[in-house]
Structure 1
Amino acid sequence: MRGLLVIGHGSRRGEANATVRELARRLATGSAHPTAPCADVSPGPDGSPDPAPSSTGSQSANDPRPWGAVESAFLEVTRPNIAEGYANLAAAGCTEIIVYPFFLFDGNHTHRDIPAALDEARERHPTTRWILSEPLGLHACVIEAVRARLDDTLRGLVHAAGTST
């Protein structure tokens, strides 16, 4: 069975940690924002949209829940930590664990710290293997999301300029 481990950095701010947990919940249930325009866009090698859907083994890329179990975990500050999240997936019967680092950029955490923690967790669960996904980076939908946030900001400025205080 395949599991999904969504890893966030971990924060003293509960709202930040709640976002990681909510992402894991939505990935587990297959729910997304109903107007998400990027829901079916896969990036090409240069980050631009690729019209051909990618395959995920025997499960369809269009399957909203190709995971038998989903867990959230954190690199530092809060729990569950990576070892605990990995152990929960192994206990649920997952032998293949896809790991999604919910980070914007590829850096030391995604290249060094997370793989080291995953290797340590796998030592305790030798019948499992893990596969690390790329972080968000400049995926076409990230660029679209940034444009949407900027549009919201500009609309807010126009609205604020039109009001008197």
Structure 2
Amino acid sequence: MHHTIDDGPAFDDEAVLLVGHGSRRERSNEQVRELAAGLESRLEIPVDAAFLELAEPSIEAAFDGLAGVVDRVTVVHCSLFAASHVKNDVPLAVEQVRTEHDLEIDVGAHLGVHPAILEILDERAAAVERMIGVDREVDDVAVVCCGRGSSDPDANGDVHKLARLFYEGRSFSRVEASFVGVTEPTLEESLHGLAKHRPDAVVVLPYMLGDGVLTQRVRDWTDEFDADYPYVAAAAGDPLGTDPRLLEVFADRWQEARSGSVEMSCDTCKYKVDLQGYEDDLGGARAMVRALAHRASHADREDVDDEPHVHDGPNRHVAVCTNRTCTEMGSSAVLERLRQATRDADGCDVRITRSSCLGRCGDGPMVAVYPDGVWYGDVDDADAERIVSSHLERDRIVSDIVDRTL
């Protein structure tokens, strides 16, 4: 049976893959699965959940399950902003899947700044106002929209855009953007700055999906501020969670992807535009290798309550192109030789990973060493031994097979 709904026609051979980041806290992963189930009911087609890391299934495993069952899959991001996971990690995984499965794959945009999300935030703010006994129409109420913070200026800029849009048309005295970490201003800085204006109340809205370690930090810092400034009533609201209105945003992103109308913020993307202070991030090839390193850099730690997003990666990461052309030229054998040689090496702290096309077809097998930014071309088994013994063990580049440096 074919379904027709408000969001467009759906087909029996089509599925959606809702991709979340993944968390060591199973409750956060369950929230992604709950959203997937809700989206399935809304779209009336199968919707599976997958995760970049720290949870199962992985994107690749989810596609393995869908291949042979459906002909078309639309990837929908369970991410608020277009930072490295949206721009690099998910596209990289999808490209690898395309080399392994005969599927039509569409990839949607991040959730972004959407009217439905502004509605949810407005309700979250109103709930806090009721709790602390203030009214924005009468009292001086300030709001802080707090994101997690990113090394991507485009993603951080969207938090400021969100704050401005939330201010427009509402009776708050001011609405400011802040971050848990990575960038500035931090939430602590924003709160202490607001205290100088002596508002009656400060409402802190954690702009996050899951309720985990970071949202608890937001609550703790807000409670500390409330105790330090008795003349200001302050409290933090709940994250977006699994609010049903998020399904409207997911449905919009699904429809955009299926119709080829996805719009990304390429004019301010640090991987495509030479932005001051981010010059080293320019270039898709560099970004892809960094994404490979990032995906392999997460390791479980016992002190996860203190640091929810820990990177205990190796000193180096080696990516071997296993796209069709490089595979035909022997990249699979090079990959295995590199792995064996690093296992045999003494104290060689490195991780070897397959990659999709590195954009140098015909010059392969291609091997990229990160963070050194050295790419080797036309690599054979003997060269793999030299890359390990010379470059990885002794920091000496194998100059005669260098294809390029970044």
TM-score of the superposed pair, with normalisation by structure 2? 0.29
* Local SS of the residue matching 1:150: helix
Amino acid at match of 1:155: S
Task: Kindly indicate whether residue 246 of structure 2 is the aligned counterpart of residue 142 of structure 1.
Answer: yes
Q: Is the 8 A contact 1:2 1:97 kept in 2?
A: yes
Q: Which of the residues 176, 184, 201 maps onto 1:79?
A: 184
Q: Is the 8 A contact 1:71 1:88 kept in 2?
A: no
Output one character per residue of 1:118-152: Cα deviation in whole Å (capped at 9) or x when no partner. 23333442211222222112222211000110111
Separation of aligned partners in 2, 1:76 and 1:156: 35
1:72-151 map, 5 Å: 72-110=177-215, 112-151=216-255
* 1:95 Cα deviation from its structure 2 partner: 2.4
Amino acid at match of 2:199: C
Amino acid at match of 1:151: Q
Q: Is the 8 A contact 1:70 1:89 kept in 2?
A: no
Amino acid at match of 1:11: S
Output one character per residue of 1:62-81: Cα deviation in whole Å (capped at 9) or x when no partner. xxx12111111110011111
Structure 2 gaps, min length 5: 1-139, 262-406
Identity, in percent, stands at 29
* Local SS of the residue matching 2:194: helix
Q: Which of the residues 148, 156, 160 maps onto 1:17?
A: 156
How many residue pairs align between the two structures?
A: 122
* Local SS of the residue matching 1:106: coil
1:42-53 map, 5 Å: none
Match for residue 28 of structure 1?
167
Separation of aligned partners in 1, 2:155 and 2:225: 24
* Alignment RMSD (CA, Å): 1.6
Separation of aligned partners in 1, 2:144 and 2:232: 13
Amino acid at match of 1:119: D
* Local SS of the residue matching 1:156: coil
Separation of aligned partners in 1, 2:228 and 2:154: 31
TM-score of the superposed pair, with normalisation by structure 1? 0.68
Separation of aligned partners in 1, 2:256 and 2:232: 44
Q: Is the 8 A contact 1:10 1:74 kept in 2?
A: yes
* 1:104 Cα deviation from its structure 2 partner: 1.2
Amino acid at match of 1:129: A
Match for residue 160 of structure 1?
none
1:59-78 map, 5 Å: 65-78=170-183
Separation of aligned partners in 2, 1:27 and 1:91: 22
Amino acid at match of 1:88: G
Separation of aligned partners in 2, 1:10 and 1:4: 17
Separation of aligned partners in 2, 1:27 and 1:78: 21
Considering Cα pairs closer than 8 Å and 6+ residues apart, tell me whether 1 or 2 has the greater RCO: 1
Separation of aligned partners in 1, 2:193 and 2:200: 12
Separation of aligned partners in 2, 1:147 and 1:140: 11
Separation of aligned partners in 2, 1:153 and 1:5: 32
- Choose 1 or 2 for highest CA Rg: 2
Structure 1 gaps, min length 5: 31-64, 158-165
* 1:116 Cα deviation from its structure 2 partner: 1.7
* 1:25 Cα deviation from its structure 2 partner: 0.8
* 1:23 Cα deviation from its structure 2 partner: 0.6
Q: Is the 8 A contact 1:69 1:92 kept in 2?
A: no
Amino acid at match of 1:128: V
